């Protein structure tokens, strides 16, 4: 077995472990949703008036729900993330360069960063409710990468043989991974807010697990922090790309499709951060802004590479940057 083959096998092993984590997290959410709330005894009216309205306390669970499945999800999530890291390292060894020079490798590292951010945040906060979504997306990314983006581990084009491949593309991947977790946070924020406001579909008992997540304002605040960090990294990505472009092609900016859409992503997130901090945009409007921004990130990664031709598309899906 070659190092390249080992890397591919490790990716499938990581996908398997993360699939187990996804199932465990999904079971945890289903148990939370299946738990029947039990109403507390009605409070007696102090006045003794039989016609006075009786106050009933808010329903609460009879006893805490076992979160063993979530614990399994965290453990297998760590295992899958470690296996994915090993796959990325061995890919780099096989290729003899930084392992993020094309769409296949970018997807692997992006999934790893998303999982690392989720697991890192889970060390400080109880964010197990994110587990099913983050692991599910990560598995999807890995399967698509293996089946649609896979390339043999080889060298890169002369323009990519630069330390900027490590810096520029590496920072872009980290930003994308953080954007992914923030996106999931905003989606759950919208679901929780809709349930609290009486949405008929989300009022079904199967969605009762949403009641165990933080309030929409707390989810929005955490999403904002993550997006702010990712935005700074994305800003550096654009600046670093411009410097690299001047070294490689003799110009800082050439309105290449990848450059244009990277700038579109920057504008959308800059508008989101500005609107939330200075214009008071919060709640659902802020969450929708995040979803639009992440859609632009995904299109910049897939659509721009597969649809448009430019200096960043050397050979179809072979080159991410």
* Predicted local distance difference test score (pLDDT) of residue 272: 93
CA distances from 180 to 69, 119, 170, 257, 307 (A): 24, 13, 16, 22, 23
310 and 167 housed in the same domain = yes
- What is the reported pTM? 0.82
> Of the residues 137, 153, 169, which one is the last residue of a structural domain?
153
> Of the residues 121, 153, 185, which one is the last residue of a structural domain?
153
pLDDT 10s digits, 255-270: 888 888 999 999 999 9
Q: Tell me, yes or no, whether 184 lies in a domain.
A: yes
> Of the residues 153, 184, 203, which one is the last residue of a structural domain?
153
Q: Tell me, yes or no, whether 284 lies in a domain.
A: yes
Q: Which residues of the chain have pLDDT under 70?
A: 34-65, 158-160, 308-321
pLDDT 10s digits, 77-127: 999 999 999 999 999 999 888 888 888 998 999 999 999 999 999 999 899
Q: Tell me, yes or no, whether 310 lies in a domain.
A: yes
Q: Tell me, yes or no, whether 41 lies in a domain.
A: no
Number of domains making up the chain: 2
15 and 111 housed in the same domain = yes
Q: Tell me, yes or no, whether 169 lies in a domain.
A: yes
* Predicted local distance difference test score (pLDDT) of residue 44: 45
132 is in which domain, residue-wise? Answer: 1-35+65-153
Q: Tell me, yes or no, whether 57 lies in a domain.
A: no
* Predicted local distance difference test score (pLDDT) of residue 235: 95
* Predicted local distance difference test score (pLDDT) of residue 313: 55
* Predicted local distance difference test score (pLDDT) of residue 22: 97
* Predicted local distance difference test score (pLDDT) of residue 189: 94
């Amino acid at each position: 077995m070659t190092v390249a083959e080992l890397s591919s096998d490790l990716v499938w092993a990581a996908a398997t472990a993360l699939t187990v984590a996804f199932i465990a997290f999904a079971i945890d959410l289903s148990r939370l949703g299946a738990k029947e709330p039990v109403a507390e005894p009605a409070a007696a009216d102090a006045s003794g008036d039989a016609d006075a309205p009786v106050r009933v306390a808010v329903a609460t669970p009879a006893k805490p729900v076992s979160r063993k499945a979530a614990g399994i999800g965290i453990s297998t999530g760590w295992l899958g993330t470690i296996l994915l890291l090993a796959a990325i390292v061995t890919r780099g060894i096989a290729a003899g360069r930084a392992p993020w020079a094309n769409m296949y490798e970018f997807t692997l590292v992006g999934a790893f960063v998303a999982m690392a951010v989720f697991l890192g945040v889970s060390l400080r906060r109880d964010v197990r409710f994110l587990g099913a979504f983050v692991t599910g997306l990560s598995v999807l990314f890995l399967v698509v990468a293996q089946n649609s983006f896979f390339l043999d581990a080889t060298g890169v084009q002369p323009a990519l043989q630069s330390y900027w491949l490590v810096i520029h593309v590496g920072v872009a991947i980290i930003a994308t991974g953080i954007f992914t977790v923030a996106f999931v946070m905003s989606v759950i924020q919208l679901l929780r807010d809709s349930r609290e406001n009486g949405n008929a579909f989300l009022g079904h008992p199967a969605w009762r697990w949403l009641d165990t997540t933080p309030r929409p304002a707390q989810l929005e605040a955490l999403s904002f922090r993550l997006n702010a960090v990712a935005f700074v990294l994305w800003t550096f990505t654009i600046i670093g790309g411009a410097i690299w472009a001047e070294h490689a092609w003799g110009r800082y900016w050439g309105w290449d499709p990848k450059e244009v859409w990277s700038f579109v992503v920057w504008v959308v997130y800059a508008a989101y951060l500005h609107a939330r901090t200075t214009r008071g945009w919060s709640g659902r409007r802020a969450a929708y802004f995040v979803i639009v921004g992440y859609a632009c990130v995904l299109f910049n990664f897939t659509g721009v590479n597969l649809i448009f031709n430019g200096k960043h598309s050397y050979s179809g899906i072979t080159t991410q940057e």
